[in-house]
Amino acid sequence: MLGRQPRVAAAPSKRKTSPGRSAAAARSRLLIAALTPFILLSITLAVLIGPVDIAPLTVWEIAFGKVTGAEGDWSKSQANIVWLIRFPRVLLAGVVGGGLAVIGVVMQAITRNPLADPFLLGISSGAALGAVSVLLMGVFGGLGIYALSLGAFLGALLAFVLVFSLAIQNGRLLPTRMILAGVAVSFMFSAVTSFITLSDDSSGAARRVLFWMLGGLSGTQWQDLTLPALALVLGIIYLMGQSRALNALIIGDETATTLGIQVHKLRRRLLVVTSLLTGLIIAVSGAIGFVGLMMPHIVRLIVGSDHRRVLPVSLLAGAVYLIWVDVMARTLFAPEEIPVGIITSLCGAPFFLWLMRRNKDAL
């Protein structure tokens, strides 16, 4: 048998108390242990920061009071600001940031390209087009508030399938073609979105569409949070179950096949899962770029490439990152707000260029 335990093996692995506990795994556990309380701290601070001053403890007293119905010594306007305006927005920033980071991880695995990102590959503009079609042309009108999410999902899926089939030549996925196809698809969808917007006479149309193009979290309500949060929880559970398969997938299709993975089936499923997540997130946040590119890359530098570590750490890191970027978006030029997507692009585009120079093989 091929895996006979040879004599040499037992000695060195017994010397260590736990074989295989690598430095990267230890760093990963430490990072998760540190990031989890840091998220709570970030949420508290992000809710505090704003034109109306609120004490840290009051934030959680109000939250506790709202959930349990308890009374406390805070004013009604404080409660409204904290509970109805700031909390949903900060939590959504966490869900959107974590979600985009996870989407980036999976897209990079599917395409075996560390430069893949929903924004760069045109998936986000597909989702934005889907959302705008629903908004302005009343597609899926019967579905009420879910119509927007469905439209964004279908748009994302369409863009992903399009970019993917354009990037394959003779059964091989070509990274350069993929980025070029992504740029082309992105421009095409943006053009269609602009056309639909300009043909619409209603006064608010252009403004609302601009919101999707730029990405922003202003005006978030509790109900915006439900679908993306639910999808993210289910999505991360499914993806963690596939994390070993994702590891094999980024080595190569043939290697994954010889390890017993049904590559085409897995890739199709991952494509649908990421499109669904992208669609549901972008329906509420608009196209926020580069989070899915930056977060997984920084995380991999620290914890290595094993998806069992990359997925949870990226989720936490993405959440923290976007919570703070959104704080900047609200406060930098207060009382004016900048769309959060502008800041992520200002940070992300130079990062992408740096990565491109560093990873010469990827393009």
Partner 1 sequence: MTLKARGLGWSVAAQKIIDDIQLTVETGAFVGLLGPNGSGKSTLLRCIYRSLKPDAGTISLDGTDLLAMPPRDAARRMAVVLQETTIQFDFTVQEMVLMGRIPHKSAFDADTSEDWHIVAGALAQVNMLGFRERSFGTLSGGEKQRVLIARAVAQQSHFLVLDEPTNHLDIRYQLEILDIVRELRVTTLAALHDLNLATLYCDRLYVLSEGRVVASGAPEEVVTADLIYEVYGVRADVATHPRTGRMHITYFPTSVRASA
Of residues 118 through 157, those in contact with partner 1 by CB under 8 A are none
* Contact mark string toward partner 1, 106..125, x via CB under 8 A: --x---xxx-----------
Q: Which is nearer to partner 1, 179 or 213 (CB)?
A: 179
Which residues are CB-neighbours of 311 under 8 A, at least 6 positions away?
102, 105, 236, 239, 240, 243
Q: Does 292 bind partner 1 (CB under 8 A)?
A: no
CB 286 within 8 A of CB 146: no
Q: Does 171 bind partner 1 (CB under 8 A)?
A: no
Which stretch, 2-10, 50-58, 87-95, 268-276, contacts partner 1 (CB under 8 A)?
2-10
Q: Which is nearer to partner 1, 166 or 362 (CB)?
A: 362
Residues touching partner 1, count (CB under 8 A) = 47
Phi, psi of 172 (to 5 degrees): -110, 140
Q: How far is the CB of 186 from partner 1 (least distance, A)?
A: 22
Q: Which is nearer to partner 1, 45 or 240 (CB)?
A: 240
Q: Does 176 bind partner 1 (CB under 8 A)?
A: no
Q: Does 362 bind partner 1 (CB under 8 A)?
A: yes
Closest CA to 142 of 131, 153, 150: 150
Of residues 218 through 247, those in contact with partner 1 by CB under 8 A are 240-242, 244-245, 247
* Contact mark string toward partner 1, 242..271, x via CB under 8 A: x-xx-xx-xxxxxx-xxxxxx---------
Q: Does 2 bind partner 1 (CB under 8 A)?
A: yes
Q: Which is nearer to partner 1, 92 or 303 (CB)?
A: 303
Q: Which is nearer to partner 1, 12 or 335 (CB)?
A: 12
Of residues 340 through 359, those in contact with partner 1 by CB under 8 A are 359
Q: How far is the CB of 315 from partner 1 (least distance, A)?
A: 17
Q: Does 8 bind partner 1 (CB under 8 A)?
A: yes
Q: Which of 61, 200, 306, 337 binds partner 1 (CB under 8 A)?
A: 306
Q: Does 27 bind partner 1 (CB under 8 A)?
A: no
Q: How far is the CB of 345 from partner 1 (least distance, A)?
A: 24
Q: Which residues bind to partner 1, rule: CB under 8 A? A: 1-6, 8-10, 12-13, 18-20, 22-24, 108, 112-114, 240-242, 244-245, 247-248, 250-255, 257-262, 300, 304-306, 359, 361-362
